[in-house]
Amino acid sequence: MKRNRNLIILCVFLLAGLIMPLATGASDPGFYIEVLLGGLMAGVLYSLVALGFVLIFKASGVFNFAQGAMVLFAALSVARMAEVMPLWLATLLAIGIMIAFAFIVERLVLRPLVNQDPVVLLMATLGVTYFLNGFGQAVWGSDIYEINLGIAKEPVMILQNLFQGGILINKDDVAAAVAAVVLVALLALFFQKTKTGRALRAVADDHLAAQSIGIPLNRIWVIVWSVAGVVALVAGVIWGAKLGVQFSVSQVALKALPVVILGGFTSIPGAILGGLIIGVGEKMAEVFLAPIAVKAFDLAGGGIENWFAYVLALLFLLVLPEGLFGEKHIDRV
């Protein structure tokens, strides 16, 4: 009961923060909705990266720090191969590369470290992160590369008669959102309707039980890392098409950590909702809260979005330790 009350208080605060700029008239509705949409778009990308985390965590209990590096590597592969061949072929080849990567990781990292402490596995994926970042840039180069999806980049004005000045949205943002929705739908189908998907869910539920009824754990891990690789590829291509493929893409993984805390480590809907909440919250904080903070404390610029996601996640952790949709478990010391 007490926990629920805390949660309600937190939610009320968040909602108040969300409505405040509009209610106090600090911004006009059109601009407000633009910020909101911008936040949602960033949130879609966070969701995609977080989705990769959740898939791997569910199936193998590994907290995959390397997801960001996988996003960068996949995006670099697509971008550089698309220079010499059509985009669709480059994407297919990149998917092949990510599957090969899954095999290698399973064989060289996961299998020797099976049944180790989660923190040890986390550190191992840190090693994978460094290796993959170095390897990707050694092979594909470390400049900024473009991915051209063939979608016009100029913004489109909509709802001009509803708001003064209308709302600007980018076509590629809409395409990104559509791609994300399609991907999630495909994943849901894969998990719910195929035999492999059912095996994956069984492993996520209980490793030992799954193994004892004859589900090959090693193969499941390869599959799940491959799926996470494909998700990383989609995220990387969308991000790369928007901002260019460069090293900073891999840093998006750091933003996905609070997302999985918020949504729960084991929940796919949680990852998506968490990503959207973090994306919107962070944009709102940066646009509306940062100027106030800068004025009040005489700061040298805003940049609240660097840590806002983490503080939000910590707040959630205090009232809801298992996240929005995570599995509830009790262990105490």
Partner 1 sequence: MLYRENGQFKTTYRQDQQMLPILQDRIFMALLLLFVFGVAPFIFSDYLFLSILIPFLVLSLAAIGLNLLVGYCGQISLGHAAFMSVGAYAAYNLVLRVPQLNFLVVLILAGLIAALVGLLFGIPSLRIRGLYLAVATLAAQFFVDWTFARVKWFTNYAPSGSVSTATIDIFGWTVDTPVRKYLFLLAVVTVFALVAKNLVRGHMGRAWMAMRDMDVAAEVIGIRPVYAKLTAFGVSSFYVGVAGALWGFVYLGSWEPLAFDINLSLNLLFMIIIGGMGSILGSFFGAFFIVALPILLNQAPEWLGIHLSTAMVSNLEAMIFGSLIIFFLIVEPQGLARLWAIGKEKLRLWPFPH
Q: Which residue has the tokens 């979005």?
A: 305
Q: Which residue has the tokens 């952790």?
A: 317
DSSP summary character for residue 249:
G
Residues 6+ apart with CB under 8 A from 105: 128, 225
Least Cα distance to 325 among 270, 256, 243 occurs for 270
Which range in 214-222, 235-243, 270-278, 296-304 contacts partner 1 by CB under 8 A?
296-304
Q: Does 253 bind partner 1 (CB under 8 A)?
A: no
Q: With beta carbons less than 8 A apart as the criterion, state whether 210 and 103 touch.
A: no
How far is Cα of residue 180 from the mean position of the Cα atoms in its chain? Answer: 11
Residues in contact with partner 1, shown as a per-residue x/- string from 134 to 163 under the rule CB under 8 A? xx-xx---x---------------------
To the nearest whole angstrom, how small is the minimum distance from the Cβ of residue 299 to partner 1? Answer: 4
Q: Does 256 bind partner 1 (CB under 8 A)?
A: no
Query: What residue type is 58 in one-letter code?
Result: K
Output the six-digit token pair for 75: 């995006």
Distances (CA, A) of 44 to 169, 180, 228, 326: 15, 7, 16, 20
Interface with partner 1 (CB under 8 A), residue from 9, 182, 189, 314: 314
Q: Does 189 bind partner 1 (CB under 8 A)?
A: no
Interface with partner 1 (CB under 8 A), residue from 132, 184, 253, 284: 132
Q: Does 83 bind partner 1 (CB under 8 A)?
A: no
**Residue 131 or 190: which CB sits closer to partner 1?**
131
Which range in 73-81, 162-170, 271-279, 317-325 contacts partner 1 by CB under 8 A?
317-325
Q: Does 10 bind partner 1 (CB under 8 A)?
A: no
Map the footprint of partner 1 across residues 93-112, applying CB under 8 A.
108-109, 112
> Residue 168 forms beta bridges with which residues?
157
Helix or strand holding residue 177 (H, E): helix 171-193
Residues 6+ apart with CB under 8 A from 296: none
Which range in 92-100, 225-233, 269-277, 299-307 contacts partner 1 by CB under 8 A?
299-307
Interface with partner 1 (CB under 8 A), residue from 124, 179, 220, 278: 124
**Residue 188 or 311: which CB sits closer to partner 1?**
311
Q: Does 257 bind partner 1 (CB under 8 A)?
A: yes
Q: Does 131 bind partner 1 (CB under 8 A)?
A: yes
- Tally of CB atoms within 10 A around 31: 18
CA 190 to CA 228: how far, in whole Å? 13
Which stretches of the chain bind partner 1, using CB under 8 A? 63, 108-109, 112-113, 118-120, 122-124, 126-135, 137-138, 142, 254, 257-258, 261, 265, 297-304, 306-307, 310-311, 313-314, 317-318, 321, 333
